[in-house]
Structure 1
Amino acid sequence: MKTLHNVKNPQPKRSFLFVSKWGEILDIAYAIQEEGHSVKFFIEDKLSREIGFGFVKKVNDWQKHIDWADIIVFDYTGYGKICDDLRASGKLVIGGSQYTDLLELDRNFGQEQLKKHKIKTLPFKEFTNFQDAIKYVEQKPDTYVIKPCGEIQDLKQLLFVGNDDEGIDVIRVLKAYEKSWGNKFGNFQLQRKVRGVEISVAAFFNGKQFLKPVNITFEHKKLFPNELGVSTGEMGTSMFWVKESPIFNATLKKFETSLANNNFVGHIDINCIVNGNGIYPLEFTSRFGYPQIYIQRDGLNEPIGNLLYKIANGENFIINTKKGFQIGAYIVVPPFPFTDKKSFDLFSKDSVIIFKKESKEGIHPIHIKRINNEWLITGASGIALLITGTGITMKDAQRMMQNRISNVIVNNSYYRIDIGNRWMEDSDKLWAWGLM
């Protein structure tokens, strides 16, 4: 194991326990181990438990290692009550709270909280069955977005963004969902669609206040270039760090007292549509974003293990970040973005990732295991790698990312080649609207 070498400011070695829902946090756990810390890694989902094998020490019961850990990191929503209890017992924890779990998982609650904090919201209505939703669109024709609520919202391909001004496409999708899902779909929202620039603003919160700089992110959610195809959750992201942001001040900043009162310590993001008429928050991500956190790591000038420890410890400091831009693209394999174990086992499981050059800088293992020093695809999702690039300009970052992608061979893989291309047009609009 590597040791930390910093003569001016040596960092103590600490013990990190990662509690993961699907193994998403492997890249960060492995990076922290490479910084010289001790790491133990637990994955809740049984189909994902091979992820990280050969990279970090895996454990079968994370609760047996609570006393061992200096800091416990939870990588997803749903652990809020556990995080609250651990913090109350004196443990240092990065993760959600019961309050922030509700912000993300209960869309109704999230919208109510936005209103309570005097933040403009888009009109929406929640439904428990498809027939009521279809009648609603027929009576109030417009362009809508279908947003699943609760845990089913993790199936990102079910979110549907309508384009028809009369809502005809939304009605067709609702009828299709009714046939395929029936009562198993659960609650969902219809939200009025507005046109503009989709942008996210995110920040780390130390239990008392937000830390600067904040992170501005542009997500690319569709499977194919030019925002075509099925929604995947995300295929890639471009970002930069800023000391001040009008969008942050109009949204997340207003939650500072509520987050402190509800014992939140971690990372939170709010996704918005902005245009010349204003800022319209869409949804919260009250945890690490994926692939956001991997790309953020490439934009840091300090070890991420030290950063997370200081945040969990409640320290107030300026995060040391790089100037310019950071971007990343997922490399995925069949059947992504769909779940089909038979197809995954046939086409993708245990496929070897080949590196033309030995350097793995900017190459982030996602659903990967390591055997005999070979990287193999595992898990169930089909997300293999995240490849990043950084630069003073967006073009510089894109070139670095493409050069790194060319160093990797993944059989049957596909990825977006246009991550970051929207920046020129989006930035012009944001400047014109006074939001940069």
Structure 2
Amino acid sequence: MAALINQPGAKRILMVSRWGESLDLANAMKEEGHAMKFYIEDRPSREIGYGFVPKVRDWKKHVDWADLIIFDYTGFGAEADRLREAGKPVFGGTAYTDQLELDRNFGQQELQRHKIKTIPSHEFHSFQEAIRFVETHPNAYVVKPMGETQELKQLLFVGKDDRGEDVVRLLRAYEKSWGAGFGSFQLQRRVKGVEISISAFFNGKSFLAPYNVTFEHKKLFPKEVGVSTGEMGSSMFWTAHSPLFERTLQKFGPALARENFRGHLDINCIVNGNGVYPLEFTSRFGYPQIFIQRAGITEPMGELLYGIAAGTRETLQTRKGFQVGAFIAVPPFPYDDKKTFDLFSKDAVVVFQKGTEGIHPMHLKQVGDQWLITGNTGLAVLVTGTGLTMKDAQRTMYNRIGSVIVNNGYYRTDIGDRWQEDSDKLWSWGYL
């Protein structure tokens, strides 16, 4: 380890992870020559990463060792603030940016304070109260859990009935199955348009150009059919100039500078001919967004993240064209069912027929030269592709997927297809 640190530019990097989602990033920085230590907070996920990167059981004992500390999820903002005040280079959130993501009402209030359009939404603490609201104000709504429940992505529901009758049926079902344990949730008016997100890195003073435009594919099956999963894959590109950035993220620059934020911020939006309507913040790495972004970033990630945390980086180097990525999942994804996972997926081998280029480890461990599925939810790998056109990027990604053998694996076959139609609309509305 000591010899490694003597290499020019090599850093000691401590990765503090909530679920182990950032394994691919930690492994990439290890391969760049940095000394890594990887901590996972969630106990059932702690086997993730064994054999790939050195693991630690208590991250706080290694703070003095680290040249750079990276927090990969929300909830660590207050800790990150204290470490920055003590002089440590930290990449991650702040107490303020954590609240932007975790408290949906606060996020909407901040959007309004920055003179950004918002979609009407209401917070509820009981299902009966929400049902009465929909019956009194019939419309199409989106049900968005808040607090810890929002981590269960399959509970998010996008209503299609213009009178909200499908939402009422869902709320009654949730009341029977969850009762008071569901916690608070939000009903947001459904607005039709193109779903798109704009994101960028922030160095404590300003956003780094270029900016990232992402199109998420959240449903389990192609053509947006089935249960919400959080995400099955994304397509994206980088741009130095974006009307969407100017109308949303850019307005938060002064507030983020006051908070000394040094990390990554994403705003997911619905856009149409009437304007931009932000839906929610992600004030951390997005998953799988960061892995697909990495496919488009043409410089070492350790050097980039250290520069952002230290406040010395003002730009980043990216590819022209498009990047796409798709998860290969196994049972019980997107659900958490230990019995099913143990029966069908635990310790299953990921087999590569043409090498591992563009293959990003997710919930895996490495034993010898074999990648084995671990954790408890069933995300095996994320496969990426790049190209000057969206079709080129898709072709590369799906060729790579075809060379990966994962027993009982499944993935979406249409990641990036939306671009053909969405791009025409975005051009006509002036967002590209």
TM-score computed with the length of structure 2 as normaliser: 0.98
Counterpart in 2 of 1:398? 394
SS at match of 1:413: coil
SS at match of 2:16: strand
Counterpart in 2 of 1:388? 384
Counterpart in 1 of 2:151? 154
- Show the 5 A alignment for 1:304-383: 304-357=301-354, 359-383=355-379
- Show the 5 A alignment for 1:251-330: 251-330=248-327
Rounded to whole Å, the distance in 1 between the matches of 2:82 and 2:71 is 13
The one-letter code of the counterpart of 2:187 is: L
SS at match of 1:190: strand
How many matched pairs?
429
The one-letter code of the counterpart of 1:13 is: A
1:236 aligns with 2:233: yes
Contact residue 326 and residue 389 of structure 1 kept, 8 A: yes
| Deviation of 1:231 (Å) | 0.2
Counterpart in 2 of 1:410? 406
The one-letter code of the counterpart of 1:411 is: N
- Show the 5 A alignment for 1:12-411: 12-357=9-354, 359-411=355-407
The one-letter code of the counterpart of 2:141 is: Y
Q: 2:420 aligns with which of 418, 424, 431?
A: 424
SS at match of 2:253: helix
Q: String of CA shifts for 1:36-55, please: whole Å, max 9, x gaps.
A: 11000000000000000000
Q: String of CA shifts for 1:79-119, please: whole Å, max 9, x gaps.
A: 01000000000000001000001000000100000000000
| Deviation of 1:406 (Å) | 1.0
Gaps of 5+ in 1: 5-9
Contact residue 293 and residue 323 of structure 2 kept, 8 A: yes
The one-letter code of the counterpart of 1:362 is: G
SS at match of 2:417: coil
Contact residue 203 and residue 314 of structure 2 kept, 8 A: no
Gaps of 5+ in 2: none
| Deviation of 1:152 (Å) | 1.1
Q: String of CA shifts for 1:169-228, please: whole Å, max 9, x gaps.
A: 000000001011111111101000010000000000001110000000000000000000
Rounded to whole Å, the distance in 2 between the matches of 1:265 and 1:298 is 22
SS at match of 1:388: strand
The one-letter code of the counterpart of 1:68 is: W
Structure 1 moving runs of 4+ over 2 Å: none
The one-letter code of the counterpart of 1:384 is: A
Rounded to whole Å, the distance in 2 between the matches of 1:82 and 1:230 is 35
Rounded to whole Å, the distance in 2 between the matches of 1:249 and 1:316 is 21
SS at match of 1:27: helix
The one-letter code of the counterpart of 1:257 is: P
| Deviation of 1:364 (Å) | 0.1
Contact residue 207 and residue 314 of structure 2 kept, 8 A: no
Identity of aligned residues (%): 66
Aligned CA RMSD, in angstroms, stands at: 1.1
The one-letter code of the counterpart of 1:221 is: K
| Deviation of 1:11 (Å) | 4.8
Contact residue 11 and residue 306 of structure 1 kept, 8 A: no
Rounded to whole Å, the distance in 1 between the matches of 2:233 and 2:133 is 34
| Deviation of 1:407 (Å) | 1.0
Rounded to whole Å, the distance in 2 between the matches of 1:184 and 1:205 is 37
| Deviation of 1:137 (Å) | 0.3
Contact residue 17 and residue 62 of structure 1 kept, 8 A: yes
Rounded to whole Å, the distance in 1 between the matches of 2:37 and 2:164 is 49
SS at match of 1:58: coil
Rounded to whole Å, the distance in 1 between the matches of 2:46 and 2:166 is 39
SS at match of 2:376: coil
